[in-house]
Amino acid sequence: MKKDYEPSASDNTKIDDVASKTPSLTNISNVDLLAIEICNLAGQNNDQTPKASSPVIQEATKGRPRINDGKKIYASSKKKYRIISTQKDSPQQIKNSKLGLGPLNFLKTSHVELLARSFTTQSKTMDDFQEELCSTFRSMMGRLRAYRGNLTVMINFGRIMISKLHDNFIAKRNINEKIFHVDEARKVLRDLEFNSNSRFTNILTSSTSDIKNIISMKHDDGQEYWDTKKIDSSLVYQLHFLDSSDSLNENFFVEIDAETFTIQVKSISDLGTIYVHGVKRFWDFCISALGDKKDSSLEILHRELVEMISDSLFIPPDITCEIKGSLKFRYSLEEVNVRHVVRYPSKDNNSILQIVEVRCLDVSLRDSPQTESVIYHAVSSNTKRENNDQSLGLWFEVSIGCRELNDYLSQNQKLELGDLVNWTPESLDLLSLDQYMFIPACKILEKLDGVGSLNDNNYNNKRLNLTRQDNLLLAEPASY
């Protein structure tokens, strides 16, 4: 992993070479350059000043998965052409000798690529990007004024994933195999004939050293961004069940607070997502709106399950619960996660950095004929699984939010049916979310290139068929 996640010398060289052809961009460093339109940078215009066209930022309606189950498409510049290929290796194994190396944005509702933009404060294109991003954000938030429940808006870091893209458009041997004109590439991504869709994975790393570097990030003047002395932490256990009586297969889980042992039934909905792709970065980020609906019917529907868990729950050191009677045929425990959440405020107390350590436990069951019940047991396994299945046992998720925005969104919790909240998309502009969320997200994105490279996000471990216990040694167990 590179020290302080600084760009390599080869990256600086390629930026300098292009900047020599475009004098107006000579002050833009490789770190500042998140996305500048490749066609203009290639020097195809007669004048030497690149003309920035309007950025294309679209919303995605597809929910984000918990695992990487899609293909990641990368693009690089070659005059007016795009190269499309998939990433099958870890980030540091990708050749980045060409300008603009990075994943193309591919969206469910409108299959378009995110046109490149610069995030330097001295560039006019940054204002264009901010205006477009804020406009898209207002559009998304305008549809949430009538939502009743716990509404959360965060910026999550991870990767935009593409699945079901036709093999004819995938480079299988090297990145130069598939070359498309820009218009042709857009047509490929927009064409619904291939039944493609996009998803977002927020599994960032499984190494604690990566997280420490994110927490200790500093401003350009050397001052620390996050206040590590004023932290807020929580620990919850999430038991994901499958209800065989539910024809819709509604995704719900039972959440247990580790401190108060309060048990709640929750169902999280993805209410809106805006993908932002880092053309010259290894990672992307998305602005997501998640809702926990204010609906008592969910508690009533699974009341018996909650009562049985409350009566039989046993936690340290492992998690054990018992389901009796006919309910053992109705419910099956599919997944158990331990989520340790730590929040760091910024020095100005406006932004919030949220770090989540997720431990996925192995679930086993045994029948108890005496009590006519099923006993579920969840534990971190140190045994090798069948078929060398190396499910990721521990990972970290990183996101940022805004304190004032959270205060505004708390109005949705008390909203009555048919009413609208007092906040409006226009009033949210007064919160300066671009300064407290969007720009900090871009700054963090600049420093994430080395994240996940220390252990290849367990890529090498899986390839060597190591046991889960070996993977867990990458991070010190959290003190619960």
pTM over 0.75: no
Residue 353 located in a structural domain? yes
* Residue owning tokens 């998140």: 34
- Residue 407, both tokens: 């205060």
Residue 116 located in a structural domain? yes
* Dist. CA 163–CA 147, nearest whole Å: 30
Q: Report DSSP letters for 370-401, one per residue.
A: TTTEEEEEEE---SPPGGG-----EEEEEEEE
Cis status, amide bond into 317, omega within 30 of 0: yes
- Residue 313, both tokens: 């729950």
> What is the number of other CB atoms lying within 10 angstroms of the CB of residue 296?
7
Report DSSP state, residue 358: E
Q: Could you tell me the CATH number of the domain that includes residue 300?
A: 3.20.100.10
**Cβ-defined contacts of 407-411 (< 8 Å, 24+):** 409/151, 409/152, 409/153
Residue 478 located in a structural domain? no
Mean pLDDT split into 10-residue runs, the chain, 480 residues: 37 32 29 29 30 36 34 34 32 31 32 30 59 89 93 94 74 67 68 66 89 89 90 95 82 91 92 85 92 84 93 87 92 94 94 94 90 90 51 88 94 89 92 90 88 61 36 30
Q: Over the stretch 443-469, which tens digit does the pLDDT of each residue have?
A: 899 889 888 876 555 544 443 333 332
* Dist. CA 355–CA 344, nearest whole Å: 8
Residue 429 located in a structural domain? yes
> What is the number of other CB atoms lying within 10 angstroms of the CB of residue 152?
18
- Rounded to 5 degrees, φ, ψ at 252 are -135, 160
Residue 145 located in a structural domain? yes
- Which class for 266: exposed (0-12), middle (13-18), buried (19 or more C-beta within 10 A)? middle
Residue 477 located in a structural domain? no
Residue 310 located in a structural domain? yes
The 3-state DSSP class for residue 142 equals: helix
**Cβ-defined contacts of 318-322 (< 8 Å, 24+):** 318/361, 318/377, 318/378, 318/379, 319/237, 319/239, 319/361, 319/377, 319/378, 319/379, 320/375, 320/376, 320/377, 320/378, 321/239, 321/375, 321/376, 322/368, 322/371, 322/373, 322/374, 322/375, 322/376
Structural domain count, the chain: 1
Whole-Å CA distances, 472 to 69, 240, 334, 478: 22, 22, 21, 11
* Residue owning tokens 């066609």: 39
Residue type (1 letter), 465: N
What is the residue range of 333's domain? 3-472
Residue type (1 letter), 63: G
* Dist. CA 478–CA 480, nearest whole Å: 6
Residue 480 located in a structural domain? no
CA torsion 441→442→447→451, rounded to 10°?
Answer: 60
Question: What's the confidence (pLDDT) of residue 94?
Answer: 30
Q: What is the CA radius of gyration of the chain?
A: 24
* Dist. CA 90–CA 205, nearest whole Å: 12
